[in-house]
A and B are shown apart, each in its own frame.
Chain A
Amino acid sequence: MATLEIKDLHVEVTDEENQTAKEILKGVNLTMKTGEIHAIMGPNGTGKSTLSQTIMGQPSYHVTQGDILLNGESIVDMPVDERARKGLFLGMQYPAEIQGVTNAEFLRAAVNARRAKDDQISVMDFLKMLDKNLAILDMSEAMTERYLNEGFSGGEKKRNEILQLLMIQPSFALLDEIDSGLDIDALKVVSKGVNAMRGDNFGSMIITHYQRLLNYIVPDVVHIMMGGRIVKTGDASLAKRLEKEGYAGLRDDLDIDVALVDEN
């Protein structure tokens, strides 16, 4: 069993324009284990993406206080590739497009990155694994010969993120708004992919605005973030309640003093 612990995490980003630092996360605490699915919900601008990017190691986010422990070991000083090889995966909201590198070539490099030099995956095994996962996601083989994310539609990009998840088999997947821009059919396919990973050796942190995704990937734990902190934690029913009452309702219930970005 693997664990991911976030302890009193404070994170700043530097505004490129005026070179001022802004604190986004103001003391996040969270512990998850493999076998569990956690959902993180919260209004816009509350630090959900910052949390996932910081755990993965995006260099623009600076940890000013607190720690992130993967299986008891602090990872805050590790480069992103090392964190990935230790078992973290981030399904991104805006995956980069890379011309000239085929999806298949990239997937193989990613799979092999976690394996020892003398234990690289054979072409046959790789293709077998690829075919199986393409079938789960209802993706055509032609997708693997296209350049990485180049010219992919929003839905294709999201599917491709999940394809990578299935190929890489991380311990923890952070999925950042994997449902945004998906129609209902694509949402089902993506959920099917994540559910295929569910088991004792896999945990996931799913960041979403909408309860709808959680009908397909039922979480064990739901956290609500506001103003850079987790303000409430509950089970799947919390998400349903939120759907009814909205974030403003919850905020007022909890008597928290934060402004919501989209509040009129």
Chain B
Amino acid sequence: MDTMQTQTQAATAVQAAAQQHNEPSWLINKRLAALDQMADLPMPLVQRFNYRDWELMPGNLQWADSKRDLAQVADGPVQIVQVGQTTVRVNLPEKLQEQGVVLTDFFTAVKDYPDLVQEAFMTKAMKSNENRLASYHTAYLNAGVFLYVPNNVVISEPIDIQLIQDNTLDQPLNSHVLVVAGRNTEVSVSQHLTTVGENANLANCLMEVIADENSHVTVATLDELGRKTMAYVERRAYAADNASVNWAVGFMNEGNTIGNFDTELNGVGSRADAKVIAITDHDQRMGVNTKITNRGKHTNGNILQRGVILEDSELVYNGIGDIIHGAAGSEAEQENRLLMMSSNAHGNANPILLIDENDVMAGHAASVGQVDEQQLYYLMSRGIRRETAERLVIRGFLGAVLSAIPAKAVRSQLVDIIERKLENGR
């Protein structure tokens, strides 16, 4: 069978599945266009990290219900819970509904709010033709969430998005979380990614954040996809004038994972802060790009990444600060630090500054090291056992990022996950 024919068959299959799903023609066309260009696009570049042989694009678009009782998640005041493609519950207080806030599953939003979705989905924060995985994502999208905050609405309660990959089934999770924050809004989102079931599947999870003028969006994530999940996690934001986007990513996936976190500071005076914590163990491999692009004047980007590498695992942190010509008066700072806990661990902390403007401030710091023996000796000289001493030093190492995570619940859950990983990973 030649490529042309395979391509046509794939298109026919995607079209049939999307039609069966009663999707509007704009979305079907978007899927097909993405599918068409896939082969010509490059894979996302993760410097110093080779994932050429990873199977990241299983080509099947199918609809399947998951058992609702697979979602063992405590009820939250403002919350959406999905297991696989199935939305288990949506809690949106009446007051927020009256203000026009939308929190629903992606495909419901496509039906009920077509204009809002069509305007924002893969148009601003990222586009389908950026790389092959983004276009794969668009073509084979099978789950997702839509959050819309109308102009001038301030939401004090964090919005809890719980996505559970259903590995009791044999299908990839291609999930898209679309967050649209209107002018002068304030919203904080927490996203929790987990896995149930023992099958090996792909997770291709994207999040787009559109932060309109003078909006303030905070996203805290706990990524805990299972060991048998190969994951591509991409999170993108677009910031308009005077908008701010703050990321705190707890990258705790257990399987091989690529992370791509990218914020475009388009508007004048917009700001972004990206904090990433990762722990790798076993023979896991993880590559992370965290990028902030300063496009608007007087924009401010700050990247802070810390990672702990246990056992035989590998973790690569690329911090990318890209200052575009014309972004005068901008600042780009980054710090990438890795701690290796075993002699078989591999780590790379790689600061990349791309600066095409003179009137800017930019700085970076990077380090890859082992636990400081002097610190351990000091703690142990007080009777503290080596394991406990190591845990304290590691916790301290991650502390700079941990303490900056605004959502207290997320922070304490993250501390628990870290303790558990350190307990097991030795």
Tell me the A residues contacting B by CB distance below 8 Å.
56-59, 79-81, 84-85, 89-90, 92, 95-96, 98-101, 105-106, 109-110, 113-114, 147-148, 164, 168
Contact = CB atoms under 8 A, between A and B. Distances in A.
B17 interface: no
Contacts of A168: 382-383
Contact of A81 (B385, B392, B403): B385
B399 A100 contact: yes
Interface string B364-382: 0000000011110111111
Nearest to A85: B383
A14 B400 CA distance: 35
A111 to B, nearest CB: 9
A84 B381 contact: yes
30 contacts: A59-B377, A81-B380, A81-B381, A81-B383, A84-B380, A89-B381, A90-B381, A95-B378, A96-B374, A96-B375, A96-B377, A96-B379, A98-B378, A98-B392, A98-B396, A99-B396, A100-B399, A100-B400, A101-B395, A106-B392, A109-B382, A109-B384, A109-B392, A110-B382, A110-B384, A113-B382, A113-B383, A113-B385, A114-B383, A168-B383
B412 to A, nearest CB: 15
B400 A80 contact: no
B386 interface: yes
B116 to A, nearest CB: 42
Given A81-B389, A84-B383, A98-B375, 7 more contacts: A85-B383, A96-B375, A99-B396, A100-B395, A100-B399, A100-B400, A113-B383
A89 B396 CA distance: 23
Nearest to B394: A100
A168 B380 CA distance: 13
Contact of B372 (A57, A90, A96, A110): A96
B388 A80 contact: no
Contacts of A110: 382-384
Nearest to B395: A100
A101 B392 contact: yes
A22 B380 CA distance: 26
A239 B48 CA distance: 63
Contacts of A57: 381
Contacts of A106: 379, 382, 392
Contacts of B375: 96, 98
Interface string B383-426: 11110110011011111101100000000000000000000000
Contacts of A114: 383
A124 B344 CA distance: 43
B365 to A, nearest CB: 14
A81 B372 contact: no
Contacts of A59: 373, 377
Contacts, number: 82
A56 B377 CA distance: 10
A81 B386 contact: yes
A80 B385 contact: no
A109 B388 contact: yes
A81 B377 CA distance: 8
B397 A99 contact: yes
Contacts of B389: 81
A95 B379 CA distance: 10
Given A81-B380, A84-B382, A96-B378, A113 B388 contact: yes
A98 B372 CA distance: 10
B384 A147 contact: no
Contact of A99 (B373, B380, B400): B400
B386 A92 contact: no
A166 to B, nearest CB: 13
Given A81-B386, A81-B389, A98 B381 contact: no
B363 to A, nearest CB: 19
A257 B379 CA distance: 39
Interface string B309-330: 0000000000000000000000
Contacts of A80: 377, 380-381
A110 B381 CA distance: 9
Interface in B163-180: none
Given A98-B393, A100-B395, A109-B388, A56 B381 contact: yes
A113 B384 contact: yes
A110 B379 CA distance: 8
A59 B381 CA distance: 11
Nearest to A84: B383
B384 A100 contact: no
Contacts of A147: 396, 399
A148 B381 CA distance: 14
B178 to A, nearest CB: 35
Contacts of A85: 383
Nearest to A97: B375
B378 A100 contact: no
B380 A79 contact: yes
A79 B386 contact: yes
Nearest to A82: B383
Nearest to A113: B383
Which of A58, A100, A110, A148 counts the most B-chain CB atoms under 10 A from its CB?
A100
